[in-house]
Amino acid sequence: MSTQIKTAVFFRTLENTEIWKDVGFSMSDLQFSYEKEGEKIELAAEKDGNGITVNDERGSWNISEDGLLLSRSLTVLFPGKLFGDSGIAKPGFVLGIAAVISSISSNRTEVFECAEIRNDIKKVDLNISINLGRGKFRGNITVRTVLFLKEIREGVPEYASSPGTILGTIETIFVDMSDKRYLFPVLEVDKPDEPLWWVECKWVDATEDLFTSENVCIILNRGNKSYKYIDMEGDSLNTAFLADVISSAIQLIIENAMKNASEWNKIETEHNLINGTISYMLRYIITTLGWDFSSPEGLAKSIRLYVYPNVVK
């Protein structure tokens, strides 16, 4: 019985050519906003390494309920250099730039075409707007900007010949949308017969399970009659009460993690924990925030010293 081996077909990409530096490509920083009751509200964005942390200074935004608008400008000064003998596409081909947006916690990926590039275009200069609609995404997202083959006339050796083929990744950005005041993911529900708040700790292995709302979460219940006292947009907001709710919830989560002695020992001592896991976040708390883990009362005080100044203003 013979085994069929398909020969790999190699074609020119951004990674194996020097063309990208010659086309005059540039993108502005991503801007983030959302709409609520007809009002467009800007979100604060802060760069952090290869990622961006996004926060709502009003404390009322939830991507799963409010959606998210992303915008930026994009320029290609010399698009013609992408085509021809020294480029990555034949002159008759059409290229595209797209944003591939994915979320592990949502188990969702969407592709948004941002620009079309043809050989006869002298310059590409666009303002891009992407709308992540309500109910589609939750948790953090990754925005990957790619160059792809959109249309062809006929296949040519050395060049990609299948529409949709990605010819290179221009940029990959991780967007952290967790509220740093609360440290842990916060979700709101509407359950009139349930308590005002509770926590969910569903992880199996803190060193492997991702730091997402599916594995660890603080739940705030809009359906409870006392919710008005922790409603960031309400007239009855009691920030001290909200701070104590969040502080108590954080302590419950941490004490739950501390129950597993072997995992907690790894969190305290190991330096190569997997980025994005629950243990990685707990390690950050231990090494960065300087909390007192020697006793429950010491931990309670440390948490409140952190949470209160961020919530009670």
Q: Which residues contact 23 (CB under 8 A, 6 or more apart)?
A: 76, 77, 78, 79, 81, 82
Tell me which DSSP letter residue 7 carries.
P
Query: What pLDDT, on the 0 to 100 scale, is given for residue 243?
Result: 93
Count of CB atoms situated within 10 Å of the CB of 164: 11
Residue 104 DSSP SS3: coil
Q: Which residues contact 102 (CB under 8 A, 6 or more apart)?
A: 108, 109, 110, 141, 142, 144
- Single pTM value for the model: 0.64
Cα angle 105, 108, 114 (rounded to 5 degrees) comes to 125
Query: What pLDDT, on the 0 to 100 scale, is given for residue 5?
Result: 27
Query: What pLDDT, on the 0 to 100 scale, is given for residue 16?
Result: 59
Interatomic CA distance for residues 13 and 162, integer angstroms: 13
Query: What pLDDT, on the 0 to 100 scale, is given for residue 56?
Result: 82
Query: What pLDDT, on the 0 to 100 scale, is given for residue 52?
Result: 87
Query: What pLDDT, on the 0 to 100 scale, is given for residue 310?
Result: 81
Right CATH for 19-176 from 2.60.120, 2.40.160, 2.70.50, 2.70.98: 2.70.50
User: Which residue ranges make up each domain of the chain?
Assistant: 19-176, 186-311
Taking 70 as the pLDDT cut, the residues of the chain under it are 1-12, 15-18, 49-50, 59, 104-107, 138-139, 154-161, 178-181, 313
Q: Distance of alpha carbon 135 from its chain centroid, rounded?
A: 15
Query: What pLDDT, on the 0 to 100 scale, is given for residue 50?
Result: 64
Query: What pLDDT, on the 0 to 100 scale, is given for residue 6?
Result: 31
Interatomic CA distance for residues 94 and 15, integer angstroms: 19
